C-alpha cells in the first residue's frame, strides 16, 4: 500500500474554493457528486465580494498572534461587530485585545461597504 505524504498545508477561503471548483468544472466538463454538491452550496452562500483585498488588508494590520488561518476565517464570515468576531474566533486558542478586535471589524466593514 502506498503512503500519502503531505508536503504543505495552506488555508483557502470559500471564495477561492468556489473559483477552483469552477475552473475544474470548466476544464473537465463535469464535477463528481461531492464536488458538485459543494459548488451548489457555495453558489448559494458565497457573495461576489472580492475577499482577497480584505485578506491583504487584515495581514497588513500586523496583529500579534493572528495567523493566516484566522484571517481566512474572518474573510469567510465577514464579521462587522466585535461580538460577531469573537464568535468566529472562539474555536481557536487565541486572545486578541479589544483595540485590535475593533481594528479588524472596521477593516471588514470598510471592505464590505456596510456602514
Tally Cβ neighbours within 10 Å of residue 77.
14
- Is the same domain home to 27 and 73? no
pLDDT tens sequence across 10-62: 888 888 888 899 999 999 999 999 999 999 998 887 765 677 888 899 999 99
- Is the same domain home to 34 and 72? no
- Is the same domain home to 65 and 23? no
- Is the same domain home to 59 and 40? no
- Is the same domain home to 57 and 108? yes
Say if CB 45 and CB 71 are below 8 A apart.
no
Q: Note whether residue 2 is domain-resident.
A: no
For the chain, give the mean pLDDT.
89
pLDDT band at 82 (very low <50, low <70, confident <90, very high): very high
pTM to 2 decimals? Answer: 0.78
- Is the same domain home to 56 and 86? yes
pLDDT band at 2 (very low <50, low <70, confident <90, very high): confident
Amino acid at each position: 500500500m502506498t503512503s500519502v505524504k503531505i508536503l504543505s498545508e495552506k488555508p483557502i477561503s470559500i471564495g477561492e474554493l468556489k473559483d477552483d471548483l469552477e475552473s475544474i468544472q470548466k476544464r473537465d466538463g463535469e464535477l463528481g457528486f461531492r464536488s458538485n454538491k459543494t459548488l451548489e452550496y457555495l453558489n448559494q452562500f458565497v457573495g461576489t465580494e472580492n475577499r482577497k483585498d480584505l485578506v491583504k488588508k487584515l495581514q497588513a494590520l500586523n496583529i500579534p498572534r493572528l495567523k493566516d488561518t484566522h484571517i481566512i476565517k474572518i474573510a469567510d464570515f465577514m464579521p462587522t461587530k466585535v461580538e460577531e468576531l469573537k464568535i468566529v474566533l472562539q474555536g481557536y486558542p487565541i486572545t486578541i485585545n479589544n483595540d485590535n478586535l475593533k481594528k479588524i471589524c472596521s477593516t471588514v466593514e470598510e471592505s464590505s461597504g456596510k456602514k
